């Protein structure tokens, strides 16, 4: 499904703006301060930064940590919508493809909301209004009262057909897993659409490599989670196509044996970048450290790409990742402080570039 | 071979004893200088396209960058000024 617009890419304009915005993200110093604040202090701190508009707009309806969280999400949506507004030509295609992540999130939120009979307003609050869907389509999604209706609204998008195929499974089993899987798979299946088969060593080829890496890491994470949880689930059933490290069959076997899996990754192209993470995985009991190390490796890689190819999609991607990380970090801090975790515990949850 | 020789003989009036006729040479030099300036301006324009777009982006984010953006944008203009020297040299 192509979203391509006419003309050539305006990399110069978009990267200049993106770099400026990137410079405004919180740095390690800000995080050090934030970790030591209480929830209300965090809210006050945010009112004096980038998030001022959103904090003021939402201040009347929410309070405390909820306010912080909604402001974060709304700010994120604003910035990513700006990216889509600026970008032209093939660049728009790349950015829109990646931001469909939020379309997938929105579809899942609506489906879950309907499944649990949540209020319309609650669902609406939890949407992230960015990505490829228009405001109107989102409104129609929120207004839908049954899952069949949601599927109907989504016909014509990349999620339409996969959801329709998953409907019989959902109806016979009565759980949401088939539907949610269909949504995620649709997103990943179309992630590589616009990129095509670029010449080796061009920025687009590196972008492609990056997306491959992301899919591989996602597969890896899913397999490890299933293996660790000890549940009797077939990891192959959750396999996402498009990665280069494993195929479904291999993943199925490796998930049963963590040592072999670690050895396999060490030999792969990701070995160098993930060396620290792998050591942690081999030693540690929990997956959290490993997952954060993967995130950090992706961030680092995207930053390296954006410095090596200043006029390409790479800086935009690096910004998207860094912004997402910032939102996750602040959310972790706010929630952690609310639950009165210690400073060290919260710092463990952060991924700081 | 023979065709080339006839073609050359048609411009023979311009050439006398292997040298250029002074007036024709002057015209040709002027045309070449004009071409040089034009091409330099084209090059500067192409360069300014990218810089200008980036400068607009930077200014949109932070208005204080207007002065710096303007200077950076017109920097390739020096190309045209240098090319203009050619006009006075010929």
Would you say A244 and A216 are in contact if contact means Cβ atoms under 8 Å apart? yes
B76: closest CA of chain A, how far (Å): 16
Q: Is the pLDDT of residue A113 over 60?
A: yes
B54: closest CA of chain A, how far (Å): 4
pLDDT tens digits for A281-322?
A: 666 666 777 778 778 888 887 888 888 888 888 899 889 999
Q: Which of A1-10, A54-63, A297-306, B26-35 has the lowest mean pLDDT?
A: A1-10
Query: A89: pLDDT confidence band, cut at 50, 70 and 90?
Result: confident
Q: Is the pLDDT of residue A259 over 80?
A: no
pLDDT tens digits for A194-242?
A: 666 777 777 778 778 778 888 888 887 777 777 777 666 676 777 777 7
Return the structure tokens found at A258.
Answer: 């963590």
Mean pLDDT of A103-127: 87
What b/e sequence results for A4-26 when a residue is b if at least 16 CB atoms lie within 10 Å of its CB, and e otherwise?
A: eeeeebbbbbbbbbbbbbbeeeb
CB contact under 8 A, B57 and A21: no
Q: Is the pLDDT of residue A40 over 70?
A: yes
Helix (H, G, I), strand (E, B) or coil at A227: helix
Question: Would you state the pLDDT for residue A132?
Answer: 82
Inter-axis angle of helices B66-74 and B22-61, to 10 degrees? 160
Of residues A219, A215, A171, the one with CA closest to residue A192 = A215
pLDDT tens digits for A11-27?
A: 899 999 999 999 889 98
pLDDT tens digits for A248-258?
A: 777 777 777 77
Separation CA B78–CA B47 (nearest Å): 11
Return the structure tokens found at A59.
Answer: 């201040």
Kindly give, in sequence order, each residue whose CB lies less than 8 Å from that of residue A127, ignoring residues fewer than 6 positions away.
A106, A109, A110, A138, A142
Count CA atoms within 13 Å of residue A35 on its CB side. 19
CB contact under 8 A, A17 and B51: no
pLDDT tens digits for A62-71?
A: 888 888 889 9
Question: Would you state the pLDDT for residue A79?
Answer: 92
Cβ-based contacts of A89 with chain B (< 8 Å)? none
Helix count and strand count (H, E) for chain A:
18, 0
How high does pLDDT run on average in chain B?
Answer: 84
List the single best residue of B54, B56, B68, B69 to mutate versus A (max A Cβ within 10 A).
B54
Cβ-based contacts of B61 with chain A (< 8 Å)? 16-17, 20-21
Hey, how many other C-beta atoms are within 10 angstroms of the C-beta on A168? 10
Question: Would you state the pLDDT for residue A141?
Answer: 87
Would you say A242 and A215 are in contact if contact means Cβ atoms under 8 Å apart? yes
Separation CA A240–CA A221 (nearest Å): 11
Question: Would you state the pLDDT for residue A120?
Answer: 84
Which ipTM score applies to this complex?
Answer: 0.72
Return the structure tokens found at A31.
Answer: 């995080």
Which residues of A, range 9-38, sit inside 8 Å of B by Cβ? 10, 12-17, 20-21
């Amino acid at each position: 499904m192509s979203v391509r617009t006419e003309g050539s890419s305006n990399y110069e304009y978009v990267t200049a703006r993106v770099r400026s915005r990137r410079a405004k993200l919180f740095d390690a110093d800000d995080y050090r301060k934030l970790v030591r604040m209480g929830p209300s202090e965090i809210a006050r701190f945010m009112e004096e930064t980038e998030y001022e508009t959103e904090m003021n707009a939402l201040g009347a309806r929410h309070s405390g940590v909820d306010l912080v969280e909604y402001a974060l999400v709304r700010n994120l949506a604003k910035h990513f919508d700006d990216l889509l507004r600026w970008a032209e030509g093939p660049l728009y295609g790349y950015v829109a493809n990646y931001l469909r992540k939020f379309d997938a999130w929105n579809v899942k939120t609506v489906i879950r909301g309907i499944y649990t009979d949540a209020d319309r307003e609650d669902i609406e609050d939890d949407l992230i209004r960015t990505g490829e869907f228009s405001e109107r389509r989102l409104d129609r999604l929120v207004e839908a009262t049954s899952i069949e209706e949601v599927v109907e609204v989504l016909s014509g998008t990349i999620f339409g057909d996969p959801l329709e195929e998953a409907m019989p499974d959902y109806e016979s089993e009565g759980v949401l897993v088939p539907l949610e899987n269909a949504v995620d798979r649709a997103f990943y299946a179309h992630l590589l659409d616009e990129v095509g088969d670029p010449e080796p060593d061009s920025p687009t080829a590196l972008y492609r490599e990056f997306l491959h890496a992301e899919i591989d890491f996602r597969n890896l994470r899913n397999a490890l989670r299933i293996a660790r949880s000890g549940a009797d689930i077939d990891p192959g059933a959750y396999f996402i196509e498009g990665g280069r490290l494993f195929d479904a069959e291999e993943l199925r076997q490796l998930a049963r044996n963590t040592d072999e899996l670690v050895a396999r990754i060490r030999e792969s192209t990701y070995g160098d970048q993930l060396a620290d993470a792998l050591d942690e995985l081999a030693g540690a009991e929990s997956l959290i450290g490993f997952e954060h190390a993967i995130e950090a490796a992706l961030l680092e890689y995207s930053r390296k790409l954006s410095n090596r190819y200043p006029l390409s999609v790479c800086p935009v991607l690096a910004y998207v990742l860094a912004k997402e990380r910032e939102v996750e970090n602040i959310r972790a801090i706010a929630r952690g402080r609310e639950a009165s975790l210690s400073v060290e515990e919260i710092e463990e949850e952060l991924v700081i570039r | 071979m023979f065709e080339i020789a006839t073609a050359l003989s048609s411009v023979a009036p311009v050439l006398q004893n292997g040298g250029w006729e002074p007036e024709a040479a002057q015209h040709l030099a002027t045309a070449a200088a004009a071409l040089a300036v034009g091409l330099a301006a084209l090059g500067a324009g192409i360069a300014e396209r990218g810089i200008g777009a980036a400068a607009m982006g930077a200014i949109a984010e932070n208005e204080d960058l207007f002065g710096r953006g303007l200077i950076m944008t017109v920097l390739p203009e020096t190309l045209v000024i240098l090319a203009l020297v050619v006009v006075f040299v010929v």
